[in-house]
Amino acid sequence: MSRLRIFSENDPSTPRLSTSDHAEMAVELGRIGVAFEQWQASAPVAPGDAPEKIMEAYRADIDRLVAERGFKTVDVVSIAPDNPQREAMRTKFLDEHFHKEDEVRFFVAGSGLFTLHVDGEVYEVKCEQGDLIAVPDSTRHWFDMGPEPSFVAIRFFTEPDGWVGHFTGTDIAQRFPRFEKGQAG
């Protein structure tokens, strides 16, 4: 189940808000400029399907987003729990960083944990199948795919080099919960 928890940056143990209501999540995230939407496939898709089939199932939403935001590249990434590079892949974006373009991901299957650090608060967003999150450029955040990553996501890019992570050097990400297998919604 998708979930949003909001914490003070100084208190990772007590969320001031915890909700799994998609509409409430969208409103709360919208306050900090983050888009959160739900999409429905026009045809059945599953992990292992060809990227073209997956993108065709979401063509109307993809085309709308590309037209609204000017994305130049759209692709599909798939990570399985048995991927031999899973530990390195997980570690890559576990520390607080930002990008010089929006980070936009749609979860076709599986889940991941985006954690955003904005104006003294930490927004923990568990994204699952059907969720789209659009994190504005320069927003400090980290992403955790868990120790046994399992997701298929559609990614949107404006520039090939825009998605480079610029790390802040802080330890804030280590102070907040990680995404673990079997984590409750």
Residues forming the annotated binding site for Fe(2+)?
Answer: 97, 99, 103, 141
As a three-state string, the secondary structure of 30-43 is HCCCCEEEECCCCC
Q: Which residues are annotated as a binding site?
A: 97, 99, 103, 141
Q: Which residues are annotated as a binding site for Ni(2+)?
A: 97, 99, 103, 141
Give the CB-side neighbour count of residue 131, counting CA atoms within 13 A.
Answer: 27
